[in-house]
Amino acid sequence: MKKDLLSVYDLGLEDFKEIFEKARHLKSLYKEKVAYAPLKGKTLGMIFDKSSTRTRVSFEVGIYQLGGLALFLSSRDTQLGRGEPVSDTAQVMSRYLDGIMIRTYSQQMVEDFAAFADIPVINGLTDLLHPCQILSDLFTLMEKQGTFQGKKIAYIGDGNNIANSWINAAARLPFHLALACPEGYDPDESILARGIREAQEGIVLHRDPAEAARNADVLYTDVWASMGQEEEQEERVKAFQSYQISSDLLSLAGKDAVVMHCLPAHRGEEIAEEVIDGPQSIVIDQAENRLHVQKAIMELLM
């Protein structure tokens, strides 16, 4: 792997294989309660500009299980929040820490941090991308369906950081991606154009959720209003009314299709309660695998 994990688009086939093989091994050790501490004595700094449940807990527990220490750093409590240049912070933290995970708004901030840091930088989420989530999702699909190769993954909803990251993955891996987004809520234009140009199995953007869901192996969704978009909630509910993963939409997918959601979920909005709690849902498995995949990423980078 490269020094940093900023986007799944930066990964090659061997990188994906290495991450998934390592995650599988680490998960087996975890289930067997076997102690394994390759990062003993190492410290991961975790910079948070956004609130978090799964990202914070999985990284903090993960580094602890690998023998290391996590240091929670809120931008409100550091000089970053008072305007210290990213370049200065990155260089100084490189003298203190062995790795950095950043969950923030700007992808450029993460890119800049990585450019000036001498230690690995992991993108824990930005408004543009969420690479750790998509790697965990792909790993989960391999567990549940044997492979993601040749599968049709239907993403229904907002063209947000999750949609962008699925496009980046489809540009690198052999699966078909069908997106369904209302007009005005498309994924990032440049990421989508590049993905359509480079995808091995094809990327199609639909307006009709039924077209995306038809014969899909995976139905995937996310909240209609992400963090920072709460003021748009009412407007977005109107725009996305027909984009719910309901039982009817699920009936159009393949008979062995699975349902995925990166959480937190707004039940009754982007996904029906009977679907997220139903037998085809693998949502909790996705969430668990954040722990194992991120442990693999940390071990490989740190």
Active site residue 214: no
Tokens 């440049």: give the residue: 190
pLDDT in tens, 141-174: 999 999 999 999 999 999 999 999 999 999 999 9
Evaluate if residue 227 carries a pLDDT over 90. Answer: no
Residue from 65, 133, 244, 286 carrying the catalytic annotation: 133
Active site residue 103: yes
Q: Which residues face 48 on adjacent strands?
A: 74, 103
CA distance 126 to 118: 21
Residue from 158, 262, 292, 294 carrying the catalytic annotation: 262
Residue from 103, 236, 261, 292 carrying the catalytic annotation: 103
CA distance 72 to 160: 26
Active site residue 200: no
Residue from 54, 130, 236, 261 carrying the catalytic annotation: 130
Q: For residue 264, is the peptide bond before it cis, meaning its omega torsion is within 30 degrees of 0?
A: yes
Residue from 54, 222, 244, 286 carrying the catalytic annotation: 222
Active site residue 112: no
pLDDT in tens, 194-221: 999 999 899 999 999 999 999 999 999 9
| Total-model pTM | 0.96
**E strand residue ranges, the chain:** 43-48, 69-74, 99-103, 121-125, 152-156, 176-180, 203-206, 218-221, 258-261
Residue from 172, 176, 290, 292 carrying the catalytic annotation: 290
CA distance 272 to 99: 39
Provide the sign of the torsion angle of the four alpha carbons 250, 240, 181, 190, taken in this order: negative
Q: Are 112 and 100 in contact (CB under 8 A)?
A: no
Q: Rounded to 5, what percent of the chain is helix, strand, coil?
A: 45, 15, 35
Active site residue 130: yes
Percent of all residues in the chain with a pLDDT value above 90, rounded to a whole number: 91
181 three-state secondary structure: coil
- Rounded (10°) CA dihedral 87, 88, 94, 99: -60
Average pLDDT, the chain: 95
Tokens 């989530």: give the residue: 133
295 three-state secondary structure: helix
